[in-house]
Every structure is written in C-alpha cells, then in structure tokens.
Amino acid sequence: MPVVDLGSASIRELNQSLHDLGPDTNETHWSVLNPRGAHAIAAGLQVPVTVEIDGHVGYYCAGMNKQAKVVITGNAGVGLAENMMSGEVRVLGDASQAAGATGHGGLLVIEGNAAARCGISMKGIDIVVKGSVGHMSAFMAQAGSLVVLGDAGESLGDSIYEARLYVRGTPKSLGADCIEKPMTGHHKAKLRARLDAAGIGGEVDVSEFRRYGSARTLYNFHVDNVAAY
C-alpha cells in the first residue's frame, strides 16, 4: 500500500502520482498522512482506487472525483467532493460549506454535521448527512438526493428543481418553491437504499423522515411570483 506523508511530500506530488494511475493499476489502496488542513487533496481522481486520509483536510478535497473512494478521518473544509461524478467520498467528522456542490453522481457521506449550502446545485449526487445541515442546503438542487438524519437550517431547498430531500429532524424553514411532499412506499424504498449504501440502513426507521421537493411554480417566469426569484 503506497503511503504518502504530506509532512515531507507536496500536494502536487501526491495528486500527480494519483493522476498517473491507469485503470489496471495494482496500487489500489493509498494512505495519506499529515494532511494538516491542506487544500485540494486527492482532487480529480479518475480510477477505482481507495485513498484514506488520516486527519483534517482543507478546501475542495476529492473535488471532481470519478470512480475512487476517498475516506477522511477528520473534518473537511469548503467544497468537499465538489463536482463529484462517481465513486464515494466519506468524511468521519464535519464538513464545511458547499459539501457536494454541483455533484453529478456518486455517494457523499458526512458522518458529522455539514455547514451551509450542502448540496447546492446538485445534479445527481446522493448525499447522506448523519448530523444536521446549515442554511440554504440544496439551493437550486436539480437532481439526486439529500438525506439528513438531523435538522436543517433556514431556506432548505430554495429554488429547488427535481432533487429529493429527506429530513428526519426539523427544517428551520423551507426556501422558495420548496414544499413538503407525501412519503410513499416508493420513496421509503429509495430512502432505504440510500441509507443502506451509506452503511446505516439498519440503524434508522425510514418512517421517521419527511420528504421535501419542488412545488414547480418557478419553472417558468410569472409576474405574480417575481418576489420569489
């Protein structure tokens, strides 16, 4: 297993080594030591390898991830897994603002809390947060799902499109065009699958969640709704 100590190696050296890996590499499990809050660690990965980061990371860790599994045994700064395409990113602590922003696919699991704008403009990613999320989470969320086992801050799902939001706790308020929707058997099955994928399926009763989504009143401009835009 390759071990990279960022106390002596640079982020550029680490990322270049990971980018040089081909699809048939036998170096499939990497360990990164002493991240010390550095930015853009393990960004832009495109092969199915596992990268374990022992400590806290800064901005944009695992951004643009494709196929890889990245595990962070600490907290993460702004933009964790931004623009993620596939694979899995898991942080064992808390995540700062804009976790999973613009993500197109894959699974992001935050075992602690997430700050403001979690899942902003998400486009297909599935995000599971064991704790709570901050204000404006899922703002302009287009596709995918956000599952929150705790509470949500103000303006949840503001200007949402077709993403699905499942919250076990209480949103402080819903954003423009976001409403509570019925929780059918179909949605409970979808939620169960998300929880199972995150490794917490058996711990949680899906009937405790509420579902939120778009009222679809802002899809087309109407002068009566001008104050909501």
User: Over the stretch 195-224, which tens digit does the pLDDT of each residue have?
Assistant: 999 999 777 999 999 999 999 987 766 666
Residue 191, token pair as written in the block = 């939620």
Domain ranges of the chain: 3-228
The reported pTM is 0.94
- Looking at the structure, give the CATH architecture of the domain made up of residues 3-228: 3 Solenoid (2.160)
User: Considering the chain, what percentage of its residues have pLDDT values greater than 90?
Assistant: 91
On the question of pLDDT at 4 being above 70, the answer is yes
Helix (H, G, I), strand (E, B) or coil at 24: coil
DSSP letter for 193, please.
H
Q: What are phi and psi of 226, to 5 degrees?
A: -60, -35
pLDDT at residue number 203: 76
On the question of pLDDT at 229 being above 60, the answer is no
pLDDT at residue number 223: 63
* Dihedral-angle region of residue 40 (phi above 0 means left; psi in -120 to 50 means alpha; beta otherwise): left
On the question of pLDDT at 226 being above 70, the answer is no
Among 1-15, 157-171, 196-210, whose mean pLDDT is lowest?
196-210
